[in-house]
Amino acid sequence: MLQITNLHKTFNPGTPNENHVLKGVSLTLKEGDYVTVIGGNGAGKSTLLNSIAGTIGVDSGEIRIDSVDVTRLPEHKRAGLLGRVFQDPMQGTAAKMSVSENLALAARRGKHRGLRWGLPKGENQEFIKALEMLGLGLERRLDDKIGLLSGGQRQAITLIMATMQKPKLLLLDEHTAALDPKTAAKVLDITDQVVNQSQLTTLMITHNMNDAIRHGNRLIMMDEGRIILDIQGEEKKKLTVDQLLKLFAQAGGENALSDRMLLHN
């Protein structure tokens, strides 16, 4: 479902601030893989995600989504293949529009919208069904402006919006980092439910080692612009934070894991 081959990206080339962020990254995800990505600050995690999304261009290498070469496609032309939830709960939704209007926009992604705006009969029932699975009571708040909701509620709705059209690939960019621990745990439980129910191929960046171990069927660790660990199957199920730290050191990780990461474990 995702095939990345020898990806390179350098920011500010030829200047004193030159930064070679991705150094020949290659990665293949099978359909239905749920992969967590972890690494210290500057490891290249967000650059990798932004490269896949088309937010930034790459210097060399190839990106294929469901066998389609998207390497040189602009962001809007590959958006139909992707769903994305950002770290900031304010992104991904229109604050001054209602919950139902936001969901309606997501339902129409990639479709011709015409000149008329309105919610077709019965569409609200679909939204209610989708929101009920969240267990947050949001199905009773369809007419509320989404800007009035809490960060966790917005992230949960953004997750529903990002997966409404069943994307080929779901990108989760530290989507619980701005939430308090209890809310973050709830959003992650909802994430697992949505991903597993629809068998979505998912790439999730996290700064929390426990979350990286607990969620998904595969864990990737990045350091200095490279993938240095790729753990899956039974090995991942039995993994502990201490073992992960030892594996990181054995793999030649040069950057100390960030204080922010260690504090959340």
For residue 258, CA distances in Å to 21, 183, 204 come to 17, 23, 18
Q: Does domain 2-93+166-263 have CATH number 3.30.930.10?
A: no
pLDDT at 238: 94
E strand map for 41-174:
60-65, 68-69, 82-85, 169-173
Q: How far apart are the C-alpha atoms of 237 and 132, rounded to whole Å?
A: 30
Q: Which residue has the tokens 């990737």?
A: 220
Question: Hey, is 180 helix, strand or coil?
Answer: coil
The answer to whether residues 51 and 230 touch, using CB atoms and an 8 Å cutoff, is no
Residue 3 pLDDT more than 70? yes
pLDDT at 234: 93
Rg over alpha carbons for the chain, rounded to the nearest Å, is 19
Segment 158-194, tens digit of pLDDT? 999 999 889 999 999 999 998 999 999 999 999 999 9
Q: Which residue would you say has higher pLDDT here, 141 or 110?
A: 141
Please, which pLDDT band fits residue 67 given cuts at 50, 70 and 90? very high
Considering the chain, what is the average pLDDT of its residues? Answer: 89
pLDDT at 248: 87
The answer to whether residues 247 and 231 touch, using CB atoms and an 8 Å cutoff, is yes
- What's the whole-model pTM score? 0.90
pLDDT at 259: 44
Supply φ then ψ for residue 25, to 5 degrees: -75, 130
User: In the chain, what are the domain boundaries?
Assistant: 2-93+166-263
Average pLDDT of the segment spanning 30-41: 95
pLDDT at 107: 83
**CA 143, 145, 146, 150 torsion-angle sign:** negative
Query: Could you count the other beta carbons within 10 Å of the beta carbon of residue 76?
Result: 8
Residue 129 pLDDT more than 70? yes
Residue 214 pLDDT more than 90? yes
Average pLDDT of the segment spanning 45-51: 96
Q: How far apart are the C-alpha atoms of 58 and 7, rounded to whole Å?
A: 7
Residue 201 pLDDT more than 70? yes
Q: How far apart are the C-alpha atoms of 131 and 213, rounded to whole Å?
A: 27
Average pLDDT of the segment spanning 248-259: 65
Residue 258 pLDDT more than 70? no
Longest dimension (CA), the chain: 60
Residue 116 pLDDT more than 50? no
Residue 254 pLDDT more than 90? no
Of 71-85, 92-106, 249-263, the poorest mean pLDDT is in 249-263
